[in-house]
Amino acid sequence: MGLSAEEKQYFEEQFDKLIKATKYIQSEDDILMIRKAYDLANEAHANMRRKSGEPYFTHPLAVAFIVAEEIGLGPKSVVGALLHDVVEDTDYTLSDIERMFDNTIANIVDGLTKISDVLDKDSSTQVENFRKMLITMSQDIRVIFIKLADRLHNMRTLDSMPEYKQVKIVSETVYLYAPLAHRLGLYSIKIELEDLALKYQHPLIYREISRKFKETEEERNKYIEEIITPIKNLLESEGISCTIKGRTKSIYSIWNKMQTKNVPFEEIYDLFAIRIVFDHPDDLPDSKARATCYQIMAMITDIYPHHEQRVRDWIKKPKSNGYEALHVTVMGPRGKWVEIQIRSRKMDDIAERGFASHWKYKTRETGEDHSLDLIIANLNELLNSKDGNLMSFLDDLKINLFSSEVYVFTPKGEIRSMPKSATALDLAYDIHTQVGHHAIAAKVNHKLQPLSYVLNSGDQVEILTSEKQYPKREWLDFVRTPKAKSRIKSALKEERRLNIEKGMDIFFKKIRELNLKLDFKQFNELRKKYNVPNKEEFYYKIGVGQILIDDIAKQLEGRKSFFARYWKVTLRKPKTNKEQTKNSMTIETLDNKKITLAQCCNPIPGDEVAGVVNPNNSIIIHKKSCNVLINFASKFGDRIISVKWSVTKKLSFLVKLKIEGVDSIGVVHKITSVISKEANVNMKAINIDTKDELFFGEIQLYIHDVEDLEALTKQLKKIKGVNNVIRVDNNEND
- Residues written for the chain: 734
Tell me the three state secondary structure of residue 651: coil
Average pLDDT, stretch 502-512?
A: 82
Cβ-count burial of 727 within 10 angstroms (0-12 exposed, 13-18 middle, 19+ buried)?
middle
- Residue in 7, 43, 54, 89 annotated catalytic: 89
Q: CA of 637: how far to CAs of 287, 539, 609, 680, in Å?
A: 48, 41, 15, 40
pLDDT tens readout for residues 703-734:
888 888 888 888 888 888 888 888 887 655 43
How are beta strands 682-691 and 640-645 bridged, if at all? unpaired
Spell out the long-range contacts of 511-514 with Cβ–Cβ below 8 A and sequence spacing 24 or more: 511/556, 511/562, 514/553, 514/556, 514/557
Tell me the three state secondary structure of residue 592: coil
153 within 8 A of 54, measured Cβ to Cβ: no
What whole-number distance in Å separates Cα of residue 526 and Cα of residue 540?
A: 15
State phi, psi for 655 to the nearest 5 degrees: -135, 145
Question: Would the pLDDT of 414 be above 90?
Answer: no
619 within 8 A of 598, measured Cβ to Cβ: no
pLDDT tens readout for residues 285-307:
778 888 999 999 999 999 999 88
Structure confidence at residue 363 as a pLDDT band (50, 70, 90):
very low
Question: Would the pLDDT of 153 be above 90?
Answer: yes
HSE (CB half, 13 Å, CA atoms) of 592? 15
What whole-number distance in Å separates Cα of residue 424 and Cα of residue 135?
A: 28
Angle at 350 between CA 348 and CA 353, to 5 degrees: 105
State phi, psi for 174 to the nearest 5 degrees: -65, -40
Q: Find all residues with CB under 8 Å of 182, minimum gap 6, and list them.
A: 190, 321, 402
Task: End-to-end CA distance of the chain: give it in Å, rounded.
Answer: 56
Structure confidence at residue 15 as a pLDDT band (50, 70, 90):
very high
What whole-number distance in Å separates Cα of residue 405 and Cα of residue 421?
A: 9
Q: Which amino acid is at 470?
A: Y
pLDDT tens readout for residues 69-104:
988 888 999 999 999 889 888 889 989 999 999 888
Catalytic residue status for 89: yes
| Sequential DSSP letters for 338-361 | EEEEEEEHHHHHHHHHTHHHHTTS
What b/e readout covers 182-200, taking b as 16+ CB neighbours within 10 angstroms?
bbbbbbbbbbbbbbbbbbb
pLDDT at 369: 41
Structure confidence at residue 231 as a pLDDT band (50, 70, 90):
very high
pLDDT at 374: 55
What sign does the dihedral 13-17-22-26 (CA atoms) show? positive
Q: Identify which of 563, 570, 556 has the alpha carbon closest to the alpha carbon of residue 520.
A: 563
Cβ-count burial of 411 within 10 angstroms (0-12 exposed, 13-18 middle, 19+ buried)?
exposed
Question: Would the pLDDT of 131 be above 90?
Answer: no
Question: Would the pLDDT of 591 be above 70?
Answer: no
Which residue has better confidence, 106 or 366? 106
Catalytic residue status for 88: yes
- Residue in 29, 88, 217, 551 annotated catalytic: 88
